[in-house]
Amino acid sequence: MKHKWEEAGANVCDRTVRNRLKEMGFQYRKAKRKPSLTPKHKRTRLQWSLMIWGCMSGKGTGEMTVVNSSINAQVYIDILDSFLIPSIEQMFGDNEIIFQDDNASCHRAKTVKAFLGERHIQSMSWPANSPDLNPIENLSCHDVCRCSPPNKNASNYEALHVENGVEQWFILCCV
Average pLDDT by consecutive 10-residue portion of the chain (175 residues)? 73 82 86 86 82 85 85 96 94 90 88 95 83 70 45 52 47 42
Q: For the chain, where are the alpha helices, taking DSSP H only?
A: 2-7, 14-23, 39-46, 73-79, 85-92, 110-118, 135-146, 157-164, 166-174
CA distances from 94 to 64, 84, 122 (A): 21, 14, 13
Which is the CATH superfamily of the domain at 52-174?
A: Ribonuclease H-like superfamily/Ribonuclease H (3.30.420.10)
Each residue of 66-86: pLDDT tens digit? 888 889 999 999 999 999 999
What pLDDT, on a 0 to 100 scale, did the predictor assign at position 40? Answer: 92
What pLDDT, on a 0 to 100 scale, did the predictor assign at position 153? Answer: 53
Query: Where are the domains positioned within the chain?
Result: 52-174
What pLDDT, on a 0 to 100 scale, did the predictor assign at position 159? Answer: 54
Q: What DSSP character marks residue 105?
A: G
What pLDDT, on a 0 to 100 scale, did the predictor assign at position 162? Answer: 47
56 and 136 in contact (C-beta within 8 Å)?
yes
For residue 117, the SS3 value is: helix
**Number of residues that this document lists for the chain:** 175
Angle CA(4)–CA(9)–CA(12) in degrees, nearest 5?
A: 70
What pLDDT, on a 0 to 100 scale, did the predictor assign at position 2? Answer: 65
